[in-house]
Amino acid sequence: MARHSKLHQKRILITGGTGSFGHEVVAKLLEETTPREIVIFSRDEKKQHDMRNRFRNSLLTFIIGDVRDRISVFNVMKNIDYVFHASALKQVPSCEFFPDEAVKTNVMGAGNVLDAAEEYEVEKVVVLSTDKAVYPINAMGMTKALMEKLMIAKARTSKAKTVFCGVRYGNVMYSRGSVLPLFVEQMGRNLPITITNPDMTRYLMPLPVAIDLVLFALENGESGDILVRKSPAATVQDTADAMIDIFNHQYGSQIIGIREGEKQHETLVTCEELLKAEEYEKYYRIKHLSVIDYDKFFSEGEAIPFPKEGYTSENTTRLSLRETKELILSLAEIQAVLKR
């Protein structure tokens, strides 16, 4: 019997569906669910062609379009039951150089998706966010934070029956723009692998775990929720050393320093959010008020003791070098590179 019975004979839309997330979630949906249709909405025809050839499944429909284009978003949303909003500009350097483009995709594009979902009363929308949206210091994080705010506002004000919720996770290992593919590329060219700051910490989340979080949100998310998967972290130095050991790399590493828009540590849940979060064994559920009394909002507060710190890559479970190496070796992408 298929898992996630809620998706039985449903039409599922994945914006930005040709990326790392799209490939992984489509594989899982086809294996564990019985949807009527999975619609991949993106602007890159080459990636759509490659994905079509990979899956060769009649349940997949590929539609060229851009979340920035309001008309195309409204057209693709007709008759959709569930939405995974993964379309985004995700690389910190790109967004730093072109913040206006990040706004168009990550904020205005998300607004188009939320508006269209409300208009056609889809059952649920899950938006994908990032730890960089928390206490943001770069354009990518700032635009993702605004995307979260748009989702929360829509959940609070919409008259439709649609449930609007989101997920937030840290670095997805071996996803596009992440550090592990860069290390592999540098090692393949017999170069030292570059690290920013040895003591910098980052969450480490395999892509299948990120997919499980999104499907958990689909099953359990309530309107306005942001669901966070607890995740271990490692130092940048241990991550680099683990890769050097795994590949017996003879050229070591090189420290290049922290770049514009980078943090020493990342945060998944703020102190302020912990006040209203529900904690489970593997997750945090950050709740948001469904109704705000605006008179009180402007003039009154509440005396609540603040936690001393949020949930960060510095205070989460810290992986040792051995544990980091074992986690990296568990990745299918790393296993494939080793076979080559």
CB-based burial, 45-65: b 16+ in 10 Å, e otherwise: eebbeebeeebeeebbebeeb
Q: Where are the beta strands (DSSP E) in the chain?
A: 11-15, 37-42, 60-64, 82-85, 124-130, 163-169, 172-173, 193-195, 201-203, 205-206, 226-229, 233-235, 253-255, 267-269, 277-279, 283-286, 311-312
d(CA 65, CA 70) in angstroms, rounded, equals 10
d(CA 219, CA 284) in angstroms, rounded, equals 15
Is-catalytic flag, 339? no
Q: Are 146 and 107 in contact (CB under 8 A)?
A: yes
Q: Which residues pair with 283 in a beta bridge?
A: 229
Per-position DSSP letters for 36-100, written without gaps between them: SEEEEEES-HHHHHHHHHHH--TTEEEEE--TT-HHHHHHHHTT--EEEE------HHHHHH-HH
Q: Are 331 and 174 in contact (CB under 8 A)?
A: yes
Owner of token pair 């960089």: 132
d(CA 100, CA 89) in angstroms, rounded, equals 11
Owner of token pair 């943001």: 136
d(CA 256, CA 264) in angstroms, rounded, equals 14
Per-position DSSP letters for 261-291, written without gaps between them: T--SS-EEE-HHHHTTEEE-SSEEEE---SS
Q: Which of 132, 144, 230, 263 is catalytic?
A: 132
d(CA 183, CA 194) in angstroms, rounded, equals 8
- Active-site residues: which are they? 132
